Structure formats: C-alpha cells, structure tokens
Amino acid sequence: MEASQFLAFLPETVLILGALALFVVSLGDSGILYARPVSLVTAVASILAAAVSSGQDAVLFDGAFRADGFSQWLKVVMLVGYGLVLLLSGGLDDVRHEIHAEYHLFLAASVLGLCLLVSAVELITLLVCLELASFPLYLLVPMRREQSAQKSQMESAMKYMMFGIAANGVMLFGMSYLFGLTGTTSLPAMMPKLAPQLGSPLAIAGLLLTFAGLYYKLAIFPFHFWAPDVYQGAANETAGLIASLPKIGAVAVLVRFSSLAGPDSGGIAGVLAVLAVLSMFYGNLIALVQTDLKRLLGFSGIAHAGYALLGFVAADEPGYTASLFYITSYVLMVLACFVVICRVSPDGTNLSIRGLAGLHRRSPLLAVTLVVGVFALAGLPPFAGFMGKLALLKSALARGYLWLVLLAVLNSAIAIYYYLGVVRSACFGEAGENQSPIRLDIGTRILCVLLLVGILGLGVAPAAFLDTISSSVARLLPNGTRPAMAEQVHPVPAPAVVLR
C-alpha cells in the first residue's frame, strides 16, 4: 500500500483500531470506566484523520472502495456527528452498566460502516457496508435497561431488525436486476452500460428496488413503519443516533446511485415525487397528535425525509447538493432536540411533550437549544433548516415541479403547529412539581453550543459548505459539471455591477 492510499484509508483505520481497543476493554470488568474515554479518543483521532485525508483521491481494494472529494467531506461530517453523538450519550444512564463497553464498540462499528459506505463503489461492498452500519444498531436498541414502565425495547428491536432485513432483501433483489442488465457490480463500470437502457422498465424497477434499502434507513413512506416505534423503544441516546447519522449515509449513497440514472429519468422522478408527498403528509399529519416527544420526532423525521427527496426528484447537481445540505442540517437540528430529551428526561425514561414544561426555568441553555432546534426543523430563518428548504424548493421548482413545491410548503405550514406545541410547553408552560434546575456537565454544554453554532452558521453563512458539496457532487455526475440552474432556465446577462 502506498503512502497516499494509506492516507485515503486513514479514517477507517483509526476507527478499526478504536473498535479493537473497545473490544479489548469489553473483555475486562472495567468497561464502564474506560469505554467512554476510549470512544472519545477514537472520535477525536478519527476526525483528525478524516481532516488529514480530506484531499485524497484514491481507489483501493480492486476498485471496491473509492476515496474522492465526495466521500471525504462526508466522512468528516459523519465523524463530527460521531463525536456529537458521544457527547450526547454522556453517562448512558439508560443502558445496562455492565455492557457499556459493548455499546461503545457497536457504536464505533456502526460509524465505521457508514464511513465505508460513502466510499463504496461496488454493489456487494456497498451492501456489506450497509449491513455493517445496520447490525450494530439492531443490537443497540435492546440494550436499554429494563424497567417496569418500559418493556418495549425488545419489540422495537425485533421490528427494526425485521424491517431492516426485509428492506435489504428487496435491495439485493434490485441489485440483481442491475447486475443482470449490465453484467457488472462496479458502479463506475455500470454507469455507461446502464445509461442506454434507462428507459426500460427493468432498469427503473432495478433502481427503485435498490433504493428501497436506503429509503428504509431514511424512513421514507412506505418503509417508515419502524421509525416511531424504534425511537420510542430505544434508549434516548440510541434513538438520537438512529435518527441522525445513518440518514446522512443513506442520502450519500442515494446520490451516488441516482447520479447513475442521470437527470432525465422521468419514471423514477415521478415515483420519487409521489413518495416524497406521501412521506411529508403521513409524517406531518400523524405528528400532529403525538404526545411523546420521541415519537413526534420519529414522525417528523419521516416528513423531513420526504423533503430531502425533493432534491432527488430534481435529480441534478443543485438538487443533490440541496438534499445533502438539508440532511446534514437535519442531523444537527435533530441532535439539538435529542440532547434536550436525554438531559431533561428523568432517569432515562421517555419524555412527553408536557414533560418539557418549565424548561426555561430549569435550564435556559437547554431551552434555547430546543427552541433553536425546533424552529430550525420548522424551517424558520435564520436557521439551517430554512436554507436547506430554500435550496430544495428552488431546485425542484427549477425543474418545473410546482405542484410538489406547493405541497411541500403546505406541509411546512402544517408542521409549524406541532413544533409550536413543543415550544409552547418548553417556554410558556408552567409545571407544578419537579422544577429543580437541571445541572449540565461540561460535555453537554459544549455539545449545546456546538449545535447552536452549527445550526446558526449553516443558516446564515453556508456559502463555503454549499460550495464544497456542490463541487463534490458535480464531479460525481456523469456529464461533468452541469451549468447552474439559472443559466439553464433563462440566460442571464452578465451583471452590470461588479460585486465586491
């Protein structure tokens, strides 16, 4: 292995070493002492490694693994997310103490799977990476401590696993079509062979079935059934993880796949548009009547996955960029909500919306984090959710999907109502008992501030980040960089004014 190839694989190497260390820790009895520090060190080291390897461009393992501009920034995002999730999980009160080391081990393995996933350019590798990312999650769900009030974790875990395996089966089935059509499992080789046959029902069916496995991760309607139950059944910290990082991985792989299909795949875009609308309406309407905060986030997550699909309906560079930007912002926003759930919930139990009452007195920082996170989810400026939504709507409207855009904004209007319900409880509600202030450890404070800065930063000054995404997406698309949307629709005369 040459030095540059080694560099390209550095983040994964660090993660593997970290996971091994965690495995060793799990063998002893002192897991509860060492697991978290080892995990944190792994996270920091892997973030550094990802930063170091960010400029790399290499193909490894006989063309199965590709480090390019696209994968490397995603790894940075993913690993930063890993760090945030670790800060979020804190003391892991709700997970049985004797298996903390295993929890951290599985967490690291899942993140490793996600990192490999964004670099996988071969179907079988991709599937293996997806499984590596998923199986640890299946195991994390039932690790929740059993209490008299909560026994649903086993049921949730079974549901999560059954649906996951079924979705993977469907995905494999779809892949078999793609292989049958092209005779290869390598994505770069598949691209030119698939292009001429794109109109054929077989190719469309193959691609859509392949997407199914990823839609399951994103919880797109009709692959969403697991989401609310798993959110509710899993420990708060685990739900925070399941709600966030895997979605970035799924969107990233979807971008890699969809770019295969090219921009003019009418049939696929139509199906995606319908799925997006169904997800939005289903998620938002059912979220309206939720009383459990995690379930509410589960249903709103379905709706947000629907928004993110808008970019895939547009199926061009601005669209993919918008989707990636949106899902990255979504992770920050949803983590902001989950940090509040984890810290407010007494004793790690599930938190009802009413349980937030008086939060502004109990912990102003958490209240601000929640309000910012929720308003960002609602798509209000100046937060990241607004910029993401703007980019998505713009890309879909540029491709002529006015009806889709109108339904999407109608949905954001519906969603306001339940988001306001959360804010109402946290800011305006006065609770009777349990008004003791919540003490936050330093890790939580750092996490809150990081999330606030991230949500505000991506909302006010996302220029550099958007540029990174769009240039990496441009290189992924088959016909190189496509002209920006504006030029396609209407030739714009050169600006008469030179901007400073």
Q: Is the CB of residue 223 less than 8 Å from the CB of residue 171?
A: no
And the tokens for 38?
């080892």
Using the contact rule CB under 8 A, the part of the chain among 82-90, 115-123, 339-347, 379-387 near other proteins is: 379-387
Q: Distance (Å, rounded) from C-alpha 9 to C-alpha 12?
A: 6
CB of 394 to other proteins, least distance (A): 5
Q: Distance (Å, rounded) from C-alpha 234 to C-alpha 294?
A: 10
CB of 409 to other proteins, least distance (A): 4
* Window 358-377: contact mask with other proteins (x via CB under 8 A): -------------x---x--
And the tokens for 347?
């004793």
And the tokens for 429?
């509600």
Q: Distance (Å, rounded) from C-alpha 470 to C-alpha 295?
A: 33
Assess 458 for contact with other proteins (CB under 8 A). no
| Interacting positions 320-339 with other proteins (CB under 8 A) | 321
Q: Is the CB of residue 390 less than 8 Å from the CB of residue 308?
A: no
And the tokens for 376?
């960002």
CA atoms within 13 A on the CB side of 267: 13
CB of 486 to other proteins, least distance (A): 4
Q: How many CB atoms lie within 10 A of CB 346?
A: 11
| Interacting positions 108-167 with other proteins (CB under 8 A) | none
| Interacting positions 465-484 with other proteins (CB under 8 A) | 466-467, 470, 484
Q: Which is nearer to other proteins, 172 or 380 (CB)?
A: 380
CA atoms within 13 A on the CB side of 271: 14
| Interacting positions 284-303 with other proteins (CB under 8 A) | none
Q: Tell me which of 96, 145, 394, 475 binds other proteins, using CB under 8 A.
A: 394
Q: Tell me which of 245, 391, 455, 477 binds other proteins, using CB under 8 A.
A: 391
Q: Which is nearer to other proteins, 86 or 405 (CB)?
A: 405
Q: Distance (Å, rounded) from C-alpha 337 to C-alpha 96?
A: 24
CB of 111 to other proteins, least distance (A): 28
Assess 492 for contact with other proteins (CB under 8 A). yes
CB of 260 to other proteins, least distance (A): 24
Using the contact rule CB under 8 A, the part of the chain among 42-50, 58-66, 225-233, 391-399 near other proteins is: 391-399
What is the total count of residues that contact other proteins (CB under 8 A)?
Answer: 46
Residues with Cβ within 8 Å of residue 408, at least 6 apart in sequence = 276, 280, 306, 307, 310, 389, 392, 393, 396
Q: Distance (Å, rounded) from C-alpha 362 to C-alpha 437?
A: 4
Assess 428 for contact with other proteins (CB under 8 A). yes
C-alpha distance across the termini of the chain, in Å: 47
- Residues near other proteins (CB under 8 A) are 321, 371, 375, 378, 380-382, 386-387, 390-391, 393-394, 397-398, 402, 405-406, 409-410, 412-413, 416-417, 420, 424, 427-428, 461-463, 466-467, 470, 484-487, 489-490, 492, 495-497, 499-500
